[in-house]
Amino acid sequence: MLVTFIIPVLNGKGTIAEALTSILNQKFDDMEIIVIDDNSCDGTENIVNKFTQKYSNVHLYENKITRGASYCRNFGIKKAIGQWIFFVDSDDLLVANTLSMHLEYLQEENDLVVGSYKQKKSNKSEVILNHNLGEKTVLDENTLLPYVKRYCHEPYKYTLLVHCWGKFYQRQKIEENDILFDEKLSQLEDVNFNFKYLMFCRKVFFTCDPVYVYRISDDSSSMSKKSGTEDMMFENMETAYSSVKYFINKEPPIINKFEAEALLNHLLATTLIIWFIRLSRVFEFWGLYRTLRVHMKQAFGRGYIKSLVYMRGNSYLLHLFFKGNKPFLMALMLKAKLFL
């Protein structure tokens, strides 16, 4: 078996059939699809069962209680028999002919194979995103660290390691090194997993050929697009980025400890800003202000803000208000959408 596709799903009645069809239409026999239904209550399992009855390589497992996307993916990893593992969200799609286009890269000595992806927002045209990499790029011991540094500075631009979907992982490498998703995390679990996997990679191959369609909708039932528990977000970020810390501090040291600390602090501070922007879309002003006040105080107490560097192209005022610990002005600016 060459490829195992793993799909966690929670109340995906409206999208799971299309996701499965996009994989089965690859016209590639040497694959299996593992669907883990996370205790759906909308009849998702009935739709998937129709596929299992028709296709012998489609398998459904059902959780009796809701366990989360990380648990589901870990369960799928343990059941997988494919040489490569590919994660799919239940509301996304594979690009047509993805497997045939990437087959040669799976047969080479690559530890991780990644393609560009198409981002599709509701009622808008698709945009192809390439993680700020060239047409065909090899990231190895000489080029991987510079990319990771760019990711730490601008995680919203250098996105190769942000998601688990759109990638082919070696199952043997995952199993031999006991690499699993952290089931306590509801956000950033993909980053945590990817950097744990990266610890054992010598060669990452990227091709600009699109492999995946990432669909963004307002459907709050989507597992991967739910917000995490806001009260625990700060602690969850530290847990999630612990694998980034281990990677940039691995032996032998690839950068000095002072630069490593500054990179991590900047990454944490930048992630908080991204989180605040998202919260501004759902919180009323005073709720947003109280949240900013609490978490900015924590960020200053841990010393994260001191390493925050202004990145060209971003809002300078937003940067100043955050670095100056001005939660009221920052909340006002976010609600007025003056950062755009």
Burial of 55 (0-12, 13-18, 19+ CB in 10 A): middle
Query: Which helix (DSSP H) or strand (DSSP E) does residue 72 occupy?
Result: helix 69-79
Domains in the chain: boundaries:
3-216, 256-335
Classified as helix, coil or strand, 61 is strand
For Cα atoms 223, 9, 20, give the angle at the middle one, nearest 5 degrees. 125
Query: What is the value of pTM for the model shown?
Result: 0.92
CA 332 to chain centre: 29
Please state the CATH superfamily assignment of the domain spanning residues 3-216 in this structure: Spore Coat Polysaccharide Biosynthesis Protein SpsA; Chain A (3.90.550.10)
Per-residue pLDDT tens over the stretch 218-246:
654 444 444 433 567 778 889 999 999 99
Q: Is 32 left (phi over 0), alpha (psi -120 to 50) or beta?
A: beta
pLDDT over 90 (residue 263): yes
What does the pLDDT read at residue 221?
Answer: 44
Burial pattern 132-143, b for ≥16 Cβ within 10 A else e, equals ebeeebebeeee
**pLDDT for the residue numbered 262:** 92
pLDDT at residue 184 tops 50: yes
Q: Is the pLDDT of residue 301 over 70?
A: yes
Look at residue 305 and tell me whether its pLDDT is greater than 80: yes
Beta strand spans in 239-286 (E): none
pLDDT of residue 340 exceeding 70: no
What confidence score (pLDDT) does residue 235 get? 84
